[in-house]
Amino acid sequence: MKQLLILCQQEEKKLSQLSKQRADAQRRVLANLKQKEALTQMLNEYHQTSSHTTSPLLLQNNANILSTLKPLQKKLKKQEVLLQHEHQRMDGLWRKQLGRQQGLSWLYEQRKSEQLRALDRLEQKQLDDLSSRYQGRK
């Protein structure tokens, strides 16, 4: 029984660790999404500025900035896919661990309940034995 309790506690610790890792993976996905949105907004602004600019120097500057930002956008898209896969993997591990932890917790509670019922039966048997001995003396 004590080993089962220890095992339950270990599984809870693992679940807690996986919860933290899962949350970290989610934060990384969200941070990447924010970066991607900010970069897309910047790209849109430079595209709009380019269409309204008549100065060759500003057009060249916008073109240079756009050529610098485009690779960053591709990098963030690739990173997004990797981060989403990692988050899905962590979520799967967390769900499996949650199932294990809940199963062991249920088993522990069942065993504890069985043990208490067995003790109750034993106590009742002892009371019945004492009662029958006492009645036998009268």
**Cα separations in angstroms, 92 against 5, 13, 25, 28:** 25, 17, 12, 17
The three-point CA angle 72-29-102 to 5° equals 160
Which residue do the tokens 């088993």 mark?
A: 107
Query: Could you give the percent of the chain with pLDDT greater than 90?
Result: 72
**Does 76 score more than 70 pLDDT?**
yes
How far apart are the C-alpha atoms of 29 and 74, rounded to whole Å?
15
- 73 and 40 Cβ atoms separated by less than 8 Å: yes
Tell me the pLDDT band of 138, cut-offs 50, 70 and 90.
Answer: low
How far apart are the C-alpha atoms of 90 and 17, rounded to whole Å?
11
What's the whole-model pTM score?
Answer: 0.75
**Does 41 score more than 90 pLDDT?**
yes
Q: Which two tokens stand for residue 24?
A: 């970290």
**Does 101 score more than 70 pLDDT?**
yes
Query: Mind listing the domains of the chain with CATH numbers?
Result: 2-137 (1.10.287.1700)
DSSP 53: -
- Region 56-73 average pLDDT: 88
- Region 98-124 average pLDDT: 95
How far apart are the C-alpha atoms of 36 and 70, rounded to whole Å?
11
